[in-house]
Amino acid sequence: MSEIADLFDLTGKWALVTGARGGLGQAMARALAMAGADIVGLGSTPMPETGQLIEASGRRFLGVQADLSQPNDFRALVAQMEELAGPIDILVNNAGIIRRADVLDYTEADWDVVTNVNEKNLFFLSQAVARGMVSRRFGRIINIASLLSFQGGIRVPAYTASKHAVAGLTKLMANELAASGVTVNAIAPGYMETDNTAALRADPDRQRQILERIPMGRWGVPDDLATAVLFLATPRASYVTGAIIPVDGGWLAR
Ligand code: NAP
């Protein structure tokens, strides 16, 4: 193996990727598998396509179903995964949802479901996985934040609040877990072509406004996150923690 490949080698590691059925989660799971990791994919529905892609690349895949909008016994869930797969070395907290409505109309039901998936259960799943990581003195937790971890956005109050929380929790967990060999970082994707942004791309005015503001002049695609996730996942990135890396075509620089 070349020295460069060695820097990013994840052979023998298990990575748990939430929301890996498609979009950004599937692309990051594939990137991790390309670097040698075996994958546990967690979602609220089965993800046969992701399983096939991972296995076709020669890695092992375990699909797990859990609804992150509901309370879960994460300690038991993680114990079950680790029994069926192996110790989780890398956790990518990617599952996330968005509900759009004007400030004056936003409902408590939308607030609760977005907050549960994007914020509350991101924390409690991380807690359950981190217990094992701390005892093994190694772990990589990678949270998927957003441009709305830094900016206000429009018509997405619960999403903006939850993504600001993801930024804060990334730093808090980084502080507490640093001495145990567990790093906690985040990726803040820009405007990416996935189901999450289908409504924006279907609105010609919003589509034009967004494109005009992206210095790269294009929407991101899921594979644009591959290098960032590998950088944060590798054991060699042992001195990087508490960072939030934008992958946004220059949006935040503008
Ligand atoms: P997506 O295609 O809609 O995928 C979201 C994933 O989250 C799905 O795989 C879904 O799995 C999972 N999920 C949703 N609700 C869940 C629940 N209750 N329980 C378990 N899993 C659940 O969206 P995406 O664009 O790839 O988004 C991935 C992450 O990136 C999200 O955190 C999002 O906020 C963030 N992000 C996206 C963009 C963008 O432009 N697309 C920009 C910044 C940040 P199931 O279908 O199985 O429920």
What's the pLDDT at 1? 57
Q: Looking up tokens 């877990």, which residue turns up?
A: 177
Q: Taking phi first (over 0 means left), then psi (-120 to 50 degrees means alpha), and beta for anything else, what does residue 181 get?
A: left
Query: Which CATH superfamily is 3-248 part of?
Result: NAD(P)-binding Rossmann-like Domain (3.40.50.720)
Q: Where are the domains of the chain?
A: 3-248
The DSSP bridge partners found for residue 247 are 189
pTM score of the predicted model:
0.98
pLDDT digits (tens, 9 = 90+) for 20-47: 999 999 999 999 999 999 999 999 999 9
Give the pLDDT mean for 131-144. 98
User: Does ligand 1 have an atom closer than 6 angstroms to the CB of 112?
Assistant: no
Q: What positions carry a catalytic annotation? A: 159
- How far away, in angstroms, is 41 Cα from ligand 1 center? 13
- Helices and strands, counts by H and E, the chain: 10, 7
Distance CA 160, CA 157 (A): 5
* Residue-by-residue DSSP string for 111-161: HHHHHIIIIIHHHHHHHHHHHHHHHHT-EEEEEE--GGGTS--SS-HHHHH
User: Does ligand 1 have an atom closer than 6 angstroms to the CB of 72?
Assistant: no
pLDDT digits (tens, 9 = 90+) for 43-71: 999 999 999 999 999 999 999 999 999 99
